[in-house]
């Protein structure tokens, strides 16, 4: 029998059990907190899109280029910038808090075992 294999399986099982207990003990987020997060995503994405729409419309008016629409291209660029901003914001705020919370939960579980 391969004891290293059973050791790896045991470690994986313990990790899964810890995650399940941590998920069960995690406090429920309120409706307002979720709405605030969604609103922030909306601002991060919609603002560059609207600015792209305005800038593209002005460019179509004063710098016409018939085979191409400045409005479409500026809206597309605004959408890409908005998605980048939202992703950057989510990584800066959510990830660190989640990692710290998980570390605290694992420490509590380890203290409870001893």
- How far the first Cα of the chain sits from its last, in Å, is 29
pTM for this entry: 0.56
Whether residue 95 is contained in a domain is answered as yes
Answer yes or no: is 14 within a domain: no
Quote the pLDDT of residue 42.
87
- What local confidence, expressed as pLDDT, does residue 94 receive? 64
Which structural domain, as residue segments, surrounds residue 94?
38-100
Q: Does a structural domain hold residue 70?
A: yes
**Residue 114 falls within a domain, yes or no?**
no
Q: Is residue 72 part of a domain?
A: yes
pLDDT along the chain (114 residues), means of 10: 59 77 63 76 92 96 90 96 89 65 72 64
Q: Are 52 and 77 in contact (CB under 8 A)?
A: yes
In a domain? residue 65:
yes
How much is the pLDDT for 80?
96
24 occurs within a structural domain: no
Number of structural domains found in the chain: 1
Please report whether residue 77 resides in a domain: yes
- Residue 2 has a pLDDT of 46
């Amino acid at each position: 029998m391969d004891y290293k294999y059973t050791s790896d399986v045991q470690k994986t099982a313990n990790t899964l059990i810890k995650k399940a207990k941590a998920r069960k003990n995690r406090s429920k987020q309120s409706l307002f907190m979720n709405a605030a997060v969604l609103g922030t995503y909306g601002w991060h994405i919609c603002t560059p899109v609207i600015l792209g729409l305005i800038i593209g419309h002005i460019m179509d008016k004063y710098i016409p280029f018939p085979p191409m629409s400045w409005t479409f291209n500026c809206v597309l660029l605004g959408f890409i910038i908005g998605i980048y901003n939202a992703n950057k914001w989510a990584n800066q705020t959510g990830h660190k808090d989640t990692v710290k919370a998980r570390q605290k939960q694992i420490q509590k579980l380890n203290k409870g075992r001893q």
